[in-house]
Homo-oligomer: A and B are copies of this chain.
Amino acid sequence: MGSIVLGDNRYGKAEIRLLRVVRGAEAHDIRDLTVSVALAGDFDRVHLEGDNSAVLPTDSQKNAVYAIAAEAPPGAIEDLGLRLARHFLAASPAARRATVRVDEHAWTRLDAHAFHAGAGGERRQTCVVAEADAAWVSAGLADLLVLKTAGSEFRGFARDRHTTLEETGDRILATAVTARWRYADAERGDWTAAFEQARQAMLDTFARRYSRSLQQTLYEMGRAVLEALPGVAEIRLGLPNRHHFPMGSADVLHIDDRPYGLIEGTVRREGAPPGPPLDW
């Protein structure tokens, strides 16, 4: 039996909640962001000896996030993520890899200086990973609820002695989409246009394509994003099956909380350069 050693590790500041106001002459804009930072690198001595000399405090990371957000309007969250990740690589000599995740919560304009939004809900996301000579940008969204009342069946499945489910040629299909895709090139231009295209491709595919299973829908949604955006190397999707059980009528259904069907998968472009996992 071998000796005990330190394995992978990282540290940082998570869930920094930040509102950025951009004051124009005519109107203000707001950006509601949640930023998380994680650094990995030569941090053995703090773990093994409690020597903090290489450790840039997470409090300093928090301060830096607010300060850098103040320097200029944040731009797309992908650009902000790149700026922050590169800052942290420079600020922490011990860090070999800086990872920055940004979630954006959308608000709708009421007038020049007022906004409204539903609590919680769909979030646009990015995760930027930067090393000394490389960077990777992923983008995505979480908790986009979609539901269709036609164009979905589930038939011809395998059966075992525990199978009681009946085949259905017409079922409610409902899910909360989580998607994260990685761009092949971290230096591309219009992140926001790309995000909107990807989101629209997923919505269109969900709405228009006939579904024989959520797995098929997942693959088609992923493929649609890769077809729409040549710069995307791979996409990971989670489409939990939110079960709706008919209650005596096909038109009245119980919306069940748990359990739910777990449907996860990746669609990728062959030969695309690899990158860090799409899991944060």
Q: Which residues of A contact B (CB under 8 A)?
A: 1-23, 28, 30, 32, 36-38, 43, 46-64, 66-67, 69-70, 91-92, 94, 107, 110-122, 143-151, 154-160, 162-165, 172, 176, 203, 206-208, 211-216, 218-219, 223, 226-227, 230, 234, 236, 240-241, 244, 247-272, 279
A133 to B279, CA, bound (A): 28
* Given A63-B162, A157-B57, A259-B14, A147 contacting B7 (CB threshold 8 A): no
Report copies per complex.
Answer: 4
Extra inter-chain contacts (20) besides given A6-B267, A17-B258, A37-B262, CB under 8 Å: A1-B230, A1-B272, A11-B262, A17-B257, A21-B250, A36-B259, A38-B264, A48-B216, A51-B212, A57-B157, A58-B259, A59-B163, A63-B163, A107-B145, A116-B203, A118-B118, A118-B145, A119-B143, A120-B121, A121-B121
Cross-chain contact A117 with B145 (CB below 8 angstroms): yes
Q: Is B115 a contact of A146 with CB atoms below 8 Å?
A: yes
**Which residues of chain B have C-beta atoms less than 8 A from A61's C-beta?**
162
A268 to B8, CA, bound (A): 9
- Given A118-B145, A162-B63, A265-B9, the answer on whether A157 and B4 have CB atoms closer than 8 Å is no
